[in-house]
Amino acid sequence: MMGNLMKAKFFKKKYIISAILLLVVIIGFVIAGGGEEAQIAKVERRDIVQEVVVTGKTKARNEVELGFDKNGRVARSYVEVGNRVVQGQVIAELDMGADLANLAKERALLAEEESGLLDEGKKIESAIREAFSAADNAVRNKADQFFKTPRTNPNFEVKFSDGNYVHYFSVPSDIVIELNSNRFDIEITLNKFQAELLQLNSSDSKNFVSIALERINTVSNFLNKVAYAVNSFAPANFAYEATVTGYKTAIDSARNTVATARDGVLSASGAGEERVNQIKSSISSLEAELRKSRITAPFGGTVSRQDADVGEIAQAGEIFVSVISENDMYIEANVSEINIGKVAAGNVVKIEFDAYPGEKFQGTVTFIDPGETVVDEVVNYKLRIEINNPDVKIRSGLTAGVTIASAEKKDVLSIPTYAVMREDGKMYVNKFVEKKIIEKVEITTGITGSDGYVEVLSGLSESDTVHINGSE
């Protein structure tokens, strides 16, 4: 009984092996030639999209490393790695006690000085009025003794009588003409100056300073010309020397009085302002020192490094903090030299992130590095790809699968790429002329699509049939 059982198992195993062998033969027949349709392909029109597939990494558009601009002890640290910051936000500070105290002192002095400027307005008003009086007296009382009808029709003429004798001081005619014209203009200037005083008050006296100085300088220049003419006088004899000296003294006194008045206006208007400007300069310097004691975010983003520990001694220029921008990422990818010729700025890109499977993003090639980058002894070129539909969840350092649509042709003749043979740098296909008759035909190809079809530019016509593996 045992023998029969073993015999039955033997025949059963034999049948199974035979069935398997028969199945293998059938499959082999089908693959080798059982289907005629598997050996041919027709030339047909279709859209072809050429794509280059690479892998890239996201990078923040803005990334910066920060430190303090002066030495000191870290007193405060406000953020940690991963925290979001806005532009201008303080991240860490050094001990600023001394600088803050000095700043408070200077600001108090500034407030005091600016308050004093209110009283200074009265001083300026008074100085301007005194300047007018000095100018008016110098011209109309002291200089006018050398003119006939000075206010209406001035005529420079200097003479004095000694008994029956009248002595005239000689002055070149061109100087006389100039002095007469200047005296006429000075009358207009003094009248304007006097009219302007009617509008002068302490609250806005500073606005009159430049006008007053202009008027005073005009008068001073006129007096200088008169003094030049008078100083040229030479007495006919010793008896007239005292008279000439008196003339010279009078005009010199007039000039000095006007000069003193001008200095008074300058002093009243400039002293307080100068002190205020000095204090403001000191405040600006202290504020600059305080800025050196702070690390602030230059733009909104995320803190990716924070090593400023409270109590630590910081050295100027030492890197403590890094910040990367948010929602402003791009992708950097390497393309081999074999494919770089297919890629151009403006190419549309499909993006998939390993971190978010199934989600699709779109992008555009915006920049191709002109210089090569060697990776594992292979020449590559860096691409920058802008993400057209950015998302807050896209972070720096994510791996991205990038498919670049480098070229597209619509409704062009095409055949499967594996139907094309390359010999001596030329492309050929085995074309069916008649059934079972194959002719080797040279063709010209265009772009190759990602779906396995290649564009046919010449050598074949639509509806031609080619042998896909080159066998009859």
Instruction: Provide CATH 2.40.50.100 ranges for the chain.
Output: 63-90+293-325
Q: What average pLDDT does range 164-193 have in this prediction?
A: 89
Question: In this model, does residue 208 exceed pLDDT 80?
Answer: yes
CATH code 2.40.30.170 region(s) in the chain: 38-59+329-467
Confidence of residue 239 (pLDDT cuts 50, 70, 90): low
How far apart CA 442 and CA 428 sit, in angstroms, is 4
How does DSSP assign 49-107, residue by residue? EEEEEEEEEEEES-EEEEE-SS-EEEEEE---TT-EE-TT-EEEEE--HHHHHHHHHHH
Check: CB of residue 72 under 8 Å from CB of residue 95. Answer: yes
Whole-number pLDDT of residue 273: 67
Q: What is the pLDDT of residues 81-126, one digit of tens each?
A: 989 899 999 999 999 888 888 889 888 888 776 666 656 788 889 8
CA atoms 374, 375, 377, 378: torsion sign = negative
Q: What amino acid is encoded at 53 in this protein? A: V
Is the pTM here over 0.75, yes or no? Answer: no
Band the pLDDT of 343: cuts 50, 70, 90: very high
| Cβ proximity of 186 and 222 under 8 Å | yes
Mean pLDDT for 389-400 is: 82
pLDDT tens by residue, 282-304: 899 889 888 999 999 988 888 98
What pLDDT shows up at residue 472? 39
C-alpha neighbours within 13 Å on the C-beta side of residue 74: 23
Say what percent of the chain tops pLDDT 90. 42
Q: Looking at the predicted structure, is the pLDDT value of residue 238 above 70?
A: no
Across all residues in the chain, what is the average pLDDT? 83
Q: Which residue in the block uniquely carries the two structure tokens 């009159």?
A: 208
Mean pLDDT of 436-454: 86
Tokens of 378: 């292979």
> What's the CA gap between 189 and 427, in Å, rounded?
100
> In this predicted model, what pLDDT tens digit does every residue of 55-76 receive, in sequence order?
999 888 778 899 999 999 999 9
- Say if residue 167's pLDDT is above 70: yes
* pLDDT band at 325; cut points 50, 70, 90: confident
Fold assignment, 38-59+329-467: Elongation Factor Tu (Ef-tu); domain 3 (2.40.30)
pLDDT of residue 33: 41
Contact indicator for 404, 384 with CB cutoff of 8 Å: no
At the topology level, CATH places domain 63-90+293-325 in: OB fold (Dihydrolipoamide Acetyltransferase, E2P) (2.40.50)
pLDDT-derived band at 15, boundaries 50, 70, 90: very low
Give me the pLDDT at residue 11, please: 36
Residues 27-56: what's their mean pLDDT? 70
